Amino acid sequence: MRTTNRRIVTNEGSEALALHSATLGGETVPKRILLAPWGNVESSNGSFVVDEESAQLAVQAFDEHGTDLPIDYEHQTLGGVYASPSGQAPAAGWIKRIFAESGVGLLAEIEWTDQAKQRLADKEYRYLSPVAIIRKTDRKLVAIHSAALTNKPAIVGMQPIINRADAADDAADSAVEPLTVLRNELDLPSDAAAEEVLVAASRRLIELQRDMERRHIEERVREAMRAGKLVEAQRTWAEALVAREEDLFEEWFRTAPIVVKPGMSAPPHTTDGVERKHHAAASRARAEFRTNRVLAGLTTEEAYVADAVRSAN
């Protein structure tokens, strides 16, 4: 989403951007308008963000203000370079309520003046330009100052935030189809709220990621066992090493000797239980010594392996 804007100086912690963000039109005058879309929004003066925190702050700021916010013509309420020749700034309407829909954006309920209704119906004005207060530290929208009717178009070739008579409904409808798909994929009820769907989708993504990681670890361990460098007794140790520091596992795998016939997980040359246990202990100790650099400063590999074999008795 991209929008044009004009910058207005405010306090040191924030700035106000007059955004050409909403297209008005259609057969009827809209009463519900999308002020700013959800997510990262690009503008000619830099991007800003509308998310859960941003929406909460904007709604809170409106509620604490305690009065309706004005919609004027061409930002005349701001005065200065925006002032009309007569100095007057008649209202075109009032923002009665600001609210958010997660994944859609920040919306407003509008009460238009009779004159504005007529001018909109006659298509004399087509764009709504909300003045957004942007927090400088993280570029989040934190409040709406006012809004204006204007005929300044968005940047050529860039998509404006469409707001026709059914603009907010269009925005909501655009989110319906993917939400429906997600509900079906996640086996959720058809009336599950957007927040519930997003939480379930996030959990599912985490599960898939963990499953992929588990499969990767198991494949690396099987690879070492097929190469004859790892025995069954070392499986738990090897899986933990791959999960924790795969680079160390890779180094061990590259330098470790073949301890069993490739493709097998236990020494094929003996059926004696004690010898098999000694062999496994020696292999495990040798692998641990080569992957733990601290041990090299305390003892030798031969002594470390011998002690492990003795402990296995």
What is the length of the chain?
313
Mean pLDDT of 192-211: 82
Q: Could you tell me if 142 and 59 are in contact, meaning their C-beta atoms sit under 8 angstroms apart?
A: no
Mean residue pLDDT across the chain: 75
pLDDT of residue 158: 28
Question: pLDDT band at residue 52, thresholds of 50, 70 and 90?
Answer: very high
Nearest to 46 by CA among 79, 94, 5, 8: 5
Residue with tokens 């094929």: 268
* Full-model pTM: 0.44
Stronger pLDDT, 22 or 42, i.e. the higher one = 42
Q: pLDDT tens across 133-156, in order?
A: 888 888 898 998 888 887 764 322
Q: Could you tell me if 107 and 168 are in contact, meaning their C-beta atoms sit under 8 angstroms apart?
A: yes
Across 15-24, 56-65, 210-219, least confident range = 15-24
Element containing residue 17 per DSSP (H, E): strand 14-20
Mean pLDDT of 29-50: 77
Q: pLDDT tens across 265-284, in order?
A: 555 454 456 677 778 888 88
Across 27-31, 165-169, 212-216, 307-311, least confident range = 165-169
pLDDT of residue 60: 93
Token couple for 36: 């700013």
Question: pLDDT band at residue 56, thresholds of 50, 70 and 90?
Answer: very high
